[in-house]
Structure 1
Amino acid sequence: MTFSCSGLFTFDLPMYNLPSIIPQFLKAHNIADSSRFLIACSGGVDSMVLAELFVQAGQKPALVHCNFMLRGDDADGDQAFVENYAKDKGLTFYTKNFDTTAFAKEKRISIQMAARDLRYSYFASLLKNHHLKFLCTAHHADDSLETILLNLGRGTGLSGLSGMKPKRDNILRPLLHLTKNEIIEIANSLQLTWREDASNTKTDYQRNYIRHKVAPVFKDNFPGFDTGFKNTSKQLINDDALFNFLLNEKVQSLITKDGHLLKMPIAELLKMKGYSSLLHYWLKPYGNFDLPSIIESLNGKSGRVFVSGQHELLVDRDFLILRQAKQEKNHTYFINEGDEILEAPFLLTTGKISASDFEISRNRKHAAFDKDKLKFPLKLRRWKNGDSFYPIGMKGKKKLSDFFIDQKLNLYEKEDIWIMLSGDDIIWVINHRIDDRYKISETTKSVYFARLK
């Protein structure tokens, strides 16, 4: 049988090869035939062909259909159609109705974005709750072309120009090597029926406009365009994979982990040609950072912070420092005289000992005080502007903000500082310095110690 693509080229695919399409895809991507699959099925020709090819391959995938309640009876008809197909084939069927308009209004996003968020959240819950391993979608070569043109219009890099990937994490796209016309030919050869969504013909959405107005211009004016596009997309996907592999190696060689912080040396970064690509690769998993502004700040004044979602990036003197955004509220903790272990906000052991039996430790995580000078309960809290103390080893009173400058602490390190107080006096800037007024002296009889774990 011959399958045509916009009349531009033909290729032979005998009917008996159709059942091999899915097994060949799974083999190419090292996926076990015994894996459990969930197929997103709208009832359109693409998803119906995908479902049927799985059935032809001897698989029993589960089908899922989302009713976004945007097209009245037509949407209900799609839902019933897919459900009937699932029953006829003996397949597990999941479906859910969504008030997409209300969700879009609540989140202040477009209807298209709302529908996408709703369905993928639902898909994720099904995969988890029913122990399904892969989500299969019916995206094809024309979809990938539309995605590339959309990305190009918005601005993109190599990854965006390579289009959709046949496998991304647990999402599979087994039809990505086929064009829309080829899928229709397969549907006709298998005598399948499907539903048509009238909204797909409208051009008021960007993707639909590209599908009906832009992509045909390429296909009509460049003979063999589909073949050339498929080959180019495949090559770009391979190039992108290699590029990301090399970037990952370089990022891992530069990044150091300091507790909950990730640090990249600015001087080493700036030595690299194309360092903006490396920076983009590193930060992309952590949110949508303002990369141009970050790059501009590398040669400017230090201390600027960039926030994206749950993460924030500090441009310090020598390092870019990435961390999870702080959610913690200010809180004061109390230490009673008899307490031996404090578990929040961090693990701290405390106690008292005779001065004659005590040995002074040089560990900054350990502190010792003249117990008779303390007022219980002691307090733990974050430092704040205006705080001051009398640092041991220094003369006179000093503001904590000035002390931190002397210690060359960056913004994140300053934010992590906790202090211990006796009454209103700061007796320990934890992990840094105790107050001179509460130090152990020759007249000390009893020592109160605190040790940070």
Structure 2
Amino acid sequence: MQTFLNQFLAFSETHKLLSKKKRVLVAVSGGLDSMALCHLMLKAEFPFAIAHCNFNLRGKESDGDEYFVKAFANTHNIEFYSTKFDTKSFAETNKLSIQEAARKLRYNWFLELLNRKKLDCVATAHHLNDNIETVLFNLSRGTGIKGLRGILPKQEKIIRPLLFATRETLESFAKQENISWREDSSNTSDKYSRNFIRHKIMPLFKEINPSFEQTFAENIAVFSEVENVFKNHFNKILKALVFKRHNDFYISIEKLKTLPDKRSILFTFLKDFGFNAQQIDDILKNLTGQAGAIYSSGTARIIRDRRFLILTKGKEEDASAHFIEEATQEIKTSQFTLKIELPDSLPNSLKTTTESAFVNKAELQFPLMLRKWKAGDYFYPFGFNLKKKKVKKFLTDLKLPLHEKENVWVIESNKKIVWVVGLRADERFTVNAKNPTLKFTMLPNENTFG
């Protein structure tokens, strides 16, 4: 079928996917699609190796697939790599569906193989019907415009040279070329959403429009172009709307209010943090409300501050304390690194800054403790003439946003607070000329937005 081979070559040329100079790793399950891709690669004389994953999900059937693909590689003198995964265990451990677990396992392995074997890219056998199913699946779940573009022909080191072809044309090519393949029994089960779309939904569309696949392919191309236009607009808006401080994103409420497409912009930014469309609507309704509202996605939180919507990722800082021995030089947390040292000399001013504090070492009792502040904590803030103050009141007076209050740490010595980290030292540990001085330095884990 020369015409089909020409279509394959033309698609590859258009998207700059394959050449005789590239060393490609073809992902081969043994099914129709990947076996057709192998034969096209052979006909085009493109150099390639084969990678096969055995997910141990179908017993002897899975082993049979592996033997089949290995035999094909041996027959055609093609480099062959295979691996086996305990997919069920991986899915349970990482709280993933079987399909998500299998995808994560295989792509991680493919990329590891690329690096180890000095190969250029991985080719998968996704075809047009897979692309249509992906878009319909995205629509059924609720998606932004990104979900309508479907599967891309090229993403970093992953290429998909069969996206132009329908499953029907692949079957015709396979029959014409007498290609053998293995059938995956799980493909017949409608318990998987994609199979349900393939077996139940797609035929209905084809009844309405016999050229449904081609029509949908044209729409996907349009969606992809629109997505690129929107992405450029989105990135431009985002630079003016959002800035990042440490690990948190600050979204200007005043600037957001002025945007005519504020819902689309906010949804596009927040959906990757787990927020859904209803939550976006709730956030937008409260833009003129009182500060303090909190919205949670499970993996992140939005805190409505006076001037900003503050996005904090849901990474839990371990609640246990960090102990500081006399010889300790450095402690790392997810927010900052704390350095502890005996300074060679003292600066002219020993005033505590947001980054550092100088304290009288003779007053310290080791081990010290680095921990999050808690209700009931109090100290004697430096510069307050030994006036006692609750840490909670101190933070409130500073008008810190809620999420910043929650992330304040203290250094404690024998149940006495030495330093409210990054904010104020305790007057009781003021340095003097008689005793050695210890310097604490807090270095934020800097991440800049953009």
TM over 0.5: yes
Secondary structure of 1:176's partner? Answer: coil
Written as runs of structure 1 = structure 2, the 5 A alignment for 1:282-361 is 282-285=269-272, 287-290=273-276, 292-293=278-279, 295-297=281-283, 299=286, 301-302=291-292, 304=294, 306=296, 308-309=298-299, 313-319=302-308, 320-323=310-313, 325-334=315-324, 336=326, 342-345=329-332, 346-351=338-343, 359-361=349-351
Supply the distance in 1 between the matched residues of 2:63 and 2:345 (Cα, whole angstroms). Answer: 77
Change (3 A) 1:362 1:433: closer
Correspondence 1:272 to 2:272: no
Bigger Cα displacement from structure 2, 127-136 vs 101-110: 101-110
Aligned to 1:200: 187
Structure 2: gaps of 5 or more residues: 333-337, 443-450
Q: Distance in 1 between matches of 2:316 and 2:88?
A: 33
Measured against aligned partners, the alpha-carbon deviations of 1:263-282 in whole angstroms (never above 9, x if no partner) come to 22233223323323323333
Contact 2:4–2:173 under 8 Å retained in 1: no
2:432 equivalent to 1:418: no
CA deviation map 1:397-439 (0-9, x unaligned)? 2110111011112234334433344543323323222334444
Is it true that 1:224 corresponds to 2:216 in the alignment? no
Structure 2 residue 244 is matched with structure 1 residue 257 = yes
Q: Secondary structure at the match of 2:218?
A: helix
Question: Aligned residues, how many?
Answer: 430
Q: Within the alignment, does 1:133 sit opposite 2:120 as a pair?
A: yes
Q: Secondary structure at the match of 1:178?
A: coil
- Shift of the 294–157 alpha-carbon distance from structure 1 to 2, 3 Å rule, reads closer
Q: Specify the code of the residue in structure 2 equivalent to 1:130.
A: K
Which of 364, 368, 378 does residue 379 from structure 1 map onto? 368
Q: Partner of 1:90 in structure 2? A: 77
Q: Secondary structure at the match of 2:331?
A: coil
Given candidates 419, 425, 430, the residue that maps to 1:428 is 419
Alignment of structure 1 residues 184-199 onto 2, 5 Å: 184-199=171-186
Alpha-carbon distance between aligned partners in 2 of 1:422 and 1:109, rounded to the nearest angstrom: 44
What CA deviation, in whole Å up to 9, does each residue of 1:46-100 have, x standing for no partner? 1111111122222221212233444454443332222121112221112234455
CA change 1:421–1:51 in 2 (3 A) is same
**Residue of structure 2 in register with 1:10 after alignment:** none
Contact 1:366-1:449 at 8 Å conserved across structures: no
Pairwise CA distance, 1:145: 1.6
Matches within 5 A, 1:229-248: 229-248=216-235
> For residue 159 of structure 1, what is the amino acid of its counterpart?
K
Task: Determine if contact 2:250/2:311 at 8 Å carries over to the other structure.
Answer: yes
**Which segment drifts farther, 404-413 or 360-369?**
360-369
Residues 1:78 and 2:57 aligned together? no
Structure 2 equivalent of residue 400 of structure 1: 391
The sequence identity of aligned pairs, in percent, is: 33
Q: Which moved more, 1:192-201 or 1:166-175?
A: 192-201
TM-score (norm 2): 0.82
Do 2:342 and 2:437's aligned partners in 1 also have CA atoms closer than 8 Å? yes
1:389 corresponds to which residue? 379
Matches of 1:216 and 1:114, distance apart in 2: 29
The letter for the 2-side match of 1:414 is K
Determine the structure 1 residue equivalent to 2:163. 176
Superposed CA RMSD: 3.4
Residue pairs, 1:44-123, within 5 angstroms? 44-100=31-87, 110-123=97-110
**Deviation at residue 20 of structure 1 after TM alignment:** 6.9
